[in-house]
Chains A and B, each alone.
Chain A
Amino acid sequence: MKNIQRSILLVIILFLTAVELRAQNGLTGVVTYKSYYPDKKQRNRSVDMTVYFNSYESLLANLGQTSQPAIKVEKIDDGFNFTLPYGDSLGGRIYRNIKNNLMVIRRPENSISDAFIVKEDWLAINWKIETATKKIGKYTATKATGSFRGRDYTAWFTYDIPVPFGPWKLHGLPGLILEAEDSEKMMRFYVTEIKIPYNTEEIIKVPTAAKELTLKEEAYMQDNFDDLLAKKLNARLPQGSRFTPNPSKDGRKYRTEKTYEWETDAINENKK
């Protein structure tokens, strides 16, 4: 009998502490987006993107796919087939913390580099919140427009879920972003699933990697990806054969980020 009473008391205490914990931190949840990234071949391929959040942190991660690294098969004009590694057990991640304005991006291993992290300067998006609304699922979403690194986005967020997070690197609205598209329709994100509450305590952690690059270094790597790849591949090719990348005239047309702060600042400086 006493034991039972004790147990009940324990349960009540635990319950109360749980409530107390919740009261301090708010509910945690997870949101999944169907996302489209720029694709030169316009295959209209989407990937599922999952963002875990609490009241001040969010982590974009694909936990379902961690067990096996993704393999990307590239075909090269000469007829050689290469299997280029892309992805590793942790995958690409984006961590955000609005408490200390920290953004950490983790890039998985790819054909020219080991996995690395980039600590980004906090770049607030100057959203303009408009009057237009529409229904997304059962939520009323409000339109907002803003620019981020060379793309002009239209986002639809809901006041019903008051967290400032969103898909990819988009954030900073008075509610969760449910949809976002850039004006070229190359970057597109649509919410497919929302779960609140969802225990994210064990999930949301700052990503790590053995190597750390600056954003500038990463931009340089992306800009010169083909040349860096060619350098690396030519060493491995059989005798007499050579891999020359097709010089791409597209520049950053198919990149998620088309301009960077230091570049636009430089332009602005020049204008002045």
Chain B
Amino acid sequence: MKIKNRLLWIVVFLLFAHVSNAQIKGKVSNQKEAPIEFVTVVLKKANDSSFVAYTRTNENGFYSLHPKTTGKFLLSFSFLGFAKQEIRVEVLDANQNTNFNVILKEESIALNDVIVRTEDIVQKKDTIVFNAKAFAQGNEEVVEDLLKKIPGLTIEADGTIKVGNQEVEKVMVEGDDFFERGYKILTKNMPAKPIDKIELLQNYSNNRLLKGVEQSERIALNLKLNDDAKHIWFGNMTLGYDAFADQQRYFGKANLMNFGKKNKYYFLTNFNNIGYDATGDINHLIRPMRSDEPSSIGDDQNISQLINLSASPPNFKRSRTTFNNAKMGSLNAIFNPSEKLKIKTLGFFNGDQLDFFRNRADNVSVNDLNFTNTEDYQLHNRSKIGFGKADLTYNISESKVIESATKYQNANFLSNSDLFFNGQSTIEQLDNPVELLDQKISYTAKFNDKRVLLLTGRFIRETAPQNYSVNLFLFGDLFPNINANNVGQTLNQKMTFAGFEAHLLDRKEGENLLELKLGNSYRRDILDSKFSLFENGTLINNPQGFQNELTYAVNDIYAKGKYRYNLDKIALIANLSVHQLFNNIDQNSQSTAQQPFFVNPSLGLDWTINKNNKIRTSYAQNRTNAEIINLYDNFVLTGFRSFSSGLGELSQLDADALFLSYQLGNWSDRFFANTTFVYTKNRDFFSTNTLINQNFTQSEAIIIKDRKLFNASTSLDFFLKKLESNVKVKLGYTQSEFKNIVNNAQLREVNSINYNYGMEYRTAFDGLLNFHFGSMWSTNKIETTIRNKFTNNVSFLDMTLTFNKKLNIDVSSERYYFGNLEKDKNYYFLDFDARYTVKENKLTLMLSGKNLFNTNTFRTFTISDIGTSTTEYRLLPRFVLLKMEYRF
């Protein structure tokens, strides 16, 4: 056999020698001169190491290779457990036969390698980088399709991106972000092709220098683009029109984007008359949700307007009662002119015309006073909002950043109403232009891994005049000798805020975090109101006690400290803030000053008993300074038949708050329960002394001691595995006790109790039909000298029919039940949305029907400490909209 084989080899040798001329052959043996079988013999070109040929030795250790060309070669011999040998070979002649016999030396090797693929997934500290190409299969249209293939990311049916159970904060492109939580606009539209890498950023901080120092559980995604990614314009468009063309309802929306490495653009427009709030789409652009973030000084500073004309019911879908005609356009861009500089600009314009229709009957029953007022109200609002914002980020160095944010808003709100008050026809008019300038500059310096200093300065100026006129004179009883027939008021409010804050974050050992803030804030408010009585067009009186001229300035020097101390399972959070205020009020040509000093402490405890039991509790003592809204001394007309006035003097209010929450299980567990208790005691609070009259009310602020509020709520979730459904039970209880005065009588106690209970059942089937139904009862009770009580119920049933990937239908129905209405206690609503995907992520057709039962009015019943109200709202009639969504 062996001989036969050898003969064969020789024949082969001879054959090959003939065909390909040159030959390199030989024998490989070990140090004991025994032949080695299966040695890998590779021939490469000497100049570039390119592969020429390879073979393995036979059982006699023989090999033979054919270089095919002349030239210099490298011949290598390798066998596991032996040292590799490399020989330089030169083939000069096409017929050359070269013989190399080789002896391989043993070499002990020990390989014990764990290989992490560098290209696919790289983890660097808190960042996981996914190589898009490694996960792409080539059939991805948009970013969302690509993200679906990244392990660990879950993309829900509506496009929500989650890591585990946590939703991502934002999806950036090359570190730039337009959308914050509105990232679906991006992920559902941006083509996947230019994406090179996907970065998952854990413990994410919006300010890069706070990374690792501040307490953050946020998660964000960053998409990196190919170097050669061309500027691609992409976006989508939705157009819809009344399917029956009888009401001319329409809806249009378009997004257009271009994301290059350096510059990014985003255009958006929306126009509709189906009650859709177009500015909702860009709210996150105007006011990014960063409430709990550092350098937020001045975020809560704004003017509270005294007159507010609106007519939509609470706890009800606003779109049902809104007769609108909105046109909105927005242009946004991000520029990176250099490595260090980033400029983000945003501008939008919104024009809207809103109509509301409302009828109301107020039954007032207080002390010996009983009467009923009726209002038939038609409100027409026209608004024009222009808004611009520019953010600049300049990275001075690795550890220093300057950021600047400038906002400017110019808006005009014009309201007209047609009103029948107890049968008398009235026209109200309110002109309310608002102008806002907001400038913030912050400087961040990172000293080392654990310590960061933020310096923030902010300047805000806001003016909001309200010119109000009512062509009816209801105040005959107030001004008995005056023969007026209409009234008007000019109200000027102006606010100036300037603040500076130094904020030090210092992470101590064991993850304990110390935060110190030192700052000074100054706010000056001007409130001028002029109330006039007219006879036809002639001014006849500016009654005393109804005019205000007030300047209120507050300077607050403060120091705040926060320390988070982590023990094994317990974290203690201690807060202390020290304030030295300088209050100054100029009113009625009289100036008063006050320098209160106070300390607000709070203590919190987070206790993770074990994986399934968590307790959070906190106690806080809080003193707050009165705001301008509480302080004006004389009456301001705040509605066509209501006046109100503030306290007239500087004051501070004290409150204690206790909070306790208990969590059993985790959100992803089959059983999950969360219970919260909140108890607040206001040692002092602003209440009212109200004079009630059938034609008008006058309400005056007073300070009363002791108000209590108690709230307990619990929600339980069970997942029933056998039924593939989730059951949710909700319970809530709120009790509040306060005191007020009506018609100069004695101080009376008002006790209000609200409790609600309900359950929801939601299926999670894989098949065609899924449904979600629930019902919630709520009982309200108010006790004073009188007693009012009612129970309402809201139920819903939502069904989702998924016929296949292309077609799905959502049907939602609601039922409202008002226990205290005499008739028409029940209201039913039925809406549906059908989606048919013609081409995935390209073209979708939608049919959406609203208010299919064509319910044209909606009545609600409310109670207060002075009586009851029944209000009827007019609703948008039934319509069916045919919509088309196209991505380009």
A: residues with CB less than 8 A from B are 19, 22-24, 26-27, 29, 34, 42, 44, 55-56, 75, 77, 79, 98, 129-131, 135-138, 142, 159, 161-164, 174-175, 178-179, 184-186, 190-197
CB closest residue in chain B, given A22: B81
The answer to the question of B767 belonging to the interface, with a C-beta cut-off of 8 Å to chain A, is yes
Contact between B111 and A55, CB atoms less than 8 A apart: no
A residues within 8 A CB of B36? 23-24, 26
Known: A44-B151, A142-B51, A185-B136. A27 touches B80 (CB 8 A): yes
Contact between A162 and B51, CB atoms less than 8 A apart: no
10 nearest CB pairs, A to B: A137-B115, A162-B40, A27-B81, A162-B78, A129-B51, A174-B54, A27-B80, A196-B111, A55-B38, A26-B80
B: residues with CB less than 8 A from A are 30, 32, 34, 36-40, 42, 48-51, 54, 56, 76, 78-82, 84, 106, 109-118, 120, 135-138, 148-151, 766-767
Contact between B118 and A159, CB atoms less than 8 A apart: no
Question: CB < 8 Å: which of A161, A184, A185 contacts B80?
Answer: A161
Contact between A196 and B109, CB atoms less than 8 A apart: yes
B residues within 8 A CB of A34? 117
Contact between A55 and B109, CB atoms less than 8 A apart: no
Contact between B106 and A164, CB atoms less than 8 A apart: no
A residues within 8 A CB of B84? 162
Question: CB < 8 Å: which of B42, B111, B117 contacts A174?
Answer: B42
Contact between A194 and B40, CB atoms less than 8 A apart: no
Known: A19-B106, A159-B78. A26 touches B120 (CB 8 A): no
Known: A26-B79, A27-B80, A162-B78. A195 touches B111 (CB 8 A): yes
B residues within 8 A CB of A186? 137
Contact between A23 and B34, CB atoms less than 8 A apart: yes
CB closest residue in chain A, given B81: A27
B residues within 8 A CB of A22? 81, 106
Known: A44-B135, A185-B138. A190 touches B80 (CB 8 A): no
Contact between A138 and B42, CB atoms less than 8 A apart: no
Known: A26-B79, A42-B137. A138 touches B51 (CB 8 A): no
Q: Least Cβ distance of A200 to chain B in Å? A: 12
A residues within 8 A CB of B81? 22-23, 26-27, 197
Q: Least Cβ distance of A45 to chain B in Å? A: 9
B residues within 8 A CB of A23? 30, 32, 34, 36, 81, 106
Q: Least Cβ distance of B47 to chain A in Å? A: 11
CB closest residue in chain B, given A137: B115
Q: Least Cβ distance of B768 to chain A in Å? A: 10
Contact between A193 and B113, CB atoms less than 8 A apart: yes
Contact between B117 and A56, CB atoms less than 8 A apart: no
Contact between B115 and A196, CB atoms less than 8 A apart: no
Q: How far does the alpha carbon of A44 sit from the alpha carbon of B137 in the complex, in Å?
A: 10
Contact between A136 and B135, CB atoms less than 8 A apart: no
A residues within 8 A CB of B149? 42, 44
Q: How far does the alpha carbon of A219 sit from the alpha carbon of B137 in the complex, in Å?
A: 26
Q: How far does the alpha carbon of A16 sit from the alpha carbon of B81 in the complex, in Å?
A: 15
Q: How far does the alpha carbon of A189 sit from the alpha carbon of B435 in the complex, in Å?
A: 62
Q: How far does the alpha carbon of A98 sit from the alpha carbon of B58 in the complex, in Å?
A: 11
Q: How far does the alpha carbon of A131 sit from the alpha carbon of B540 in the complex, in Å?
A: 98
Q: How far does the alpha carbon of A131 sit from the alpha carbon of B52 in the complex, in Å?
A: 11
**Residue with the greatest number of chain B CB neighbours at <10 A, chosen from A162, A164, A186, A192:** A162
Q: How far does the alpha carbon of A22 sit from the alpha carbon of B136 in the complex, in Å?
A: 44
CB closest residue in chain B, given A77: B767
Contact between A193 and B115, CB atoms less than 8 A apart: yes
**Residue with the greatest number of chain B CB neighbours at <10 A, chosen from A23, A131, A163, A186:** A23
Q: Least Cβ distance of A48 to chain B in Å? A: 12
Q: How far does the alpha carbon of A137 sit from the alpha carbon of B118 in the complex, in Å?
A: 8
Q: How far does the alpha carbon of A191 sit from the alpha carbon of B116 in the complex, in Å?
A: 8
Q: A162-B80, A193-B113 are in contact. List 15 more A-B contacts (CB 8 A).
A: A29-B111, A55-B37, A56-B38, A136-B115, A138-B113, A159-B40, A162-B40, A164-B40, A164-B56, A184-B138, A185-B137, A192-B117, A194-B113, A195-B113, A196-B111
Q: How far does the alpha carbon of A23 sit from the alpha carbon of B115 in the complex, in Å?
A: 28
B residues within 8 A CB of A129? 51
Q: Least Cβ distance of B167 to chain A in Å? A: 21
Contact between A192 and B767, CB atoms less than 8 A apart: no
Contact between A184 and B137, CB atoms less than 8 A apart: yes
Q: How far does the alpha carbon of A178 sit from the alpha carbon of B49 in the complex, in Å?
A: 20
Q: How far does the alpha carbon of A208 sit from the alpha carbon of B114 in the complex, in Å?
A: 32
CB closest residue in chain B, given A176: B80
CB closest residue in chain A, given B43: A174
Q: How far does the alpha carbon of A34 sit from the alpha carbon of B134 in the complex, in Å?
A: 13
A residues within 8 A CB of B42? 159, 174
Question: CB < 8 Å: which of A55, A75, A162, A174 contacts B766?
Answer: A75
Question: CB < 8 Å: which of A184, A190, A197 contacts B110?
Answer: A197
**Residue with the greatest number of chain B CB neighbours at <10 A, chosen from A29, A55, A79, A136:** A55
Q: How far does the alpha carbon of A184 sit from the alpha carbon of B84 in the complex, in Å?
A: 36
A residues within 8 A CB of B112? 194-195
A residues within 8 A CB of B80? 26-27, 29, 55, 161-163, 196
